[in-house]
Amino acid sequence: DGGITQSPKYLFRKEGQNVTLSCEQNLNHDAMYWYRQDPGQGLRLIYYSQIVNDFQKGDIAEGYSVSREKKESFPLTVTSAQKNPTAFYLCASSNREYEQFFGPGTRLTVL
Amino acid sequence: AQSVSQHNHHVILSEAASLELGCNYSYGGTVNLFWYVQYPGQHLQLLLKYFSGDPLVKGIKGFEAEFIKSKFSFNLRKPSVQWSDTAEYFCAVSRGHTGGFKTIFGAGTRLFVKA
């Protein structure tokens, strides 16, 4: 089955720790995205990548970092610099401007 | 600032009522428009999309949306809702810019349909 997988589903982190969220796709899509979903705020774009080895900051990139070493993978690191990291994180992929396909999400809680 | 606005954050309807969810965007030029839906416990998925052509587009499960360029709007409609339509609905706008394409989402509208 083609799709997007995110792991883990739930993640707990202590303050001051970095944590990496995994996102893998087998849809052969060039573009991949990370969003943060908070109640009443919709999806806000953190980072996106249109092609391997290239990525751009979205609207709320501060405190986050990404890499795109392989077409299939786009991991997101939530660093200790992120002031309010507790949220639901969604990864998506697409072929350029077309529709996005979303993963199941990772719920991160900072203790 | 460029944005996507959804007028209603929460909507409660009875089954068989008609639905219209508003969406306005503030970008000029060519855009692609989408409505996504997130059913409880499920992935966010595409409901319908508009790229060009007939401004009235039909999606899955009886939903449709009308693109009105002069009003920068892309409202979602369904003539008769069902309990299973209870979900959160997101309007999204995609446009080209330096570095590729970028999609901006609205804040979402939570729809609850009473049986």
Q: Classify residue A21 as exposed, middle or buried by CB count within 10 Å of its CB (0-12, 13-18, 19+).
A: buried
Q: Which residues of B touch A31 (CB under 8 A)?
A: 100-101
Flag residues of chain B having pLDDT under 50: none
Amino acid letter, A13: R
More confident residue, B86 or A111: B86
Spatial separation of the C-alpha atoms in residues A94 and A50, rounded to whole Å:
9
Cα separation, A24 vs A101, in Å, equals 12
Span A12-31, pLDDT tens digits: 999 889 999 999 999 999 99
Please judge whether B107 and A35 are an interchain contact, meaning their C-beta atoms are less than 8 angstroms apart.
Answer: no
Q: How many residues would you count in chain B?
A: 115
Instruction: Give the tens place of pLDDT for each residue, A38-76.
Output: 987 889 999 999 899 999 999 899 999 999 999 999 999
Adjacent-strand bridge partners of B94: B32, B103
Say whether residue A34 is in contact with chain B using an 8 A CB cutoff: no
Most B CBs within 10 A among A94, A97, A101, hence the mutation to make, goes to A97
- CA of A49 vs chain B CAs: smallest distance (Å): 9
Rounded to whole angstroms, the Cα distance separating A60 from B36 reads 21
